Amino acid sequence: DVQLVESGGDLVKPGGSLRVSCAASGFTISGYSMHWVRQAPGKGLEWVSSISTSSTYIYYADSVKGRFTVSRDNAKNSVFLQMNSLRAEDTAVYYCATVTDGGFDYWGQGTLVTVSS
């Protein structure tokens, strides 16, 4: 079965850094672009970042550009999101997901990042 498992969420102070990970199983991520989507408590979905199969193409939402860095390790079947200069408004559940035919077809369970002093 396809599975995505996020980890690394934590409580961090404003201005701090955190790296969250997404480990895939049941398929090989090398054939898929990978994506991060977040959801603030009680709010809607917000796309964060996308990375192509060989990391050639990388995109970010304006809200995180310059602060977040997405990367992937196809050999380890994992994707990462390095988050720097964190703000209170970055508090959210962070999901990784795959895309097929333009739709996010597989999602992880999410990892909670809380930015608070």
Partner 1 sequence: SYALTQPPSVSVSPGQTASITCSGDKLGDKSAYWYQQRPGQSPVLVIYQDTKRPSGIPERFSGSNSGNTATLTISGTQAMDEADFYCQAWDNDAVIFGGGTKLTVL
Nearest Cα residue to 70 out of 15, 4, 19:
19
62 binds partner 1 (CB under 8 A): yes
Using the contact rule CB under 8 A, the part of the chain among 20-28, 72-80, 82-90, 107-115 near partner 1 is 107-115
Collapsed DSSP state (helix, strand, coil) of residue 15:
coil
Collapsed DSSP state (helix, strand, coil) of residue 28:
coil
54 binds partner 1 (CB under 8 A): no
Chain centre to alpha carbon of residue 92: 11
Size of the site for partner 1 (CB under 8 A): 21
Task: Characterize the bridge pairing of strands 111-115 and 11-12.
Answer: parallel
12 membership: H or E segment, kind and range? strand 11-12
41 binds partner 1 (CB under 8 A): no
Binding mask 1-40 for partner 1 (x = CB under 8 A): ----------------------------------x-x---
Q: Which position among 27, 69, 104, 114 is part of the footprint of partner 1 (CB under 8 A)?
A: 104
Report residue 90: phi and psi, to 5°.
-85, -5
Q: Which position among 50, 78, 91, 111 is part of the footprint of partner 1 (CB under 8 A)?
A: 50
Q: How many residues does the chain have?
A: 117
Which residues are near partner 1 by CB under 8 A?
Answer: 35, 37, 44-47, 50, 57, 59, 61-62, 95, 101-105, 107-110
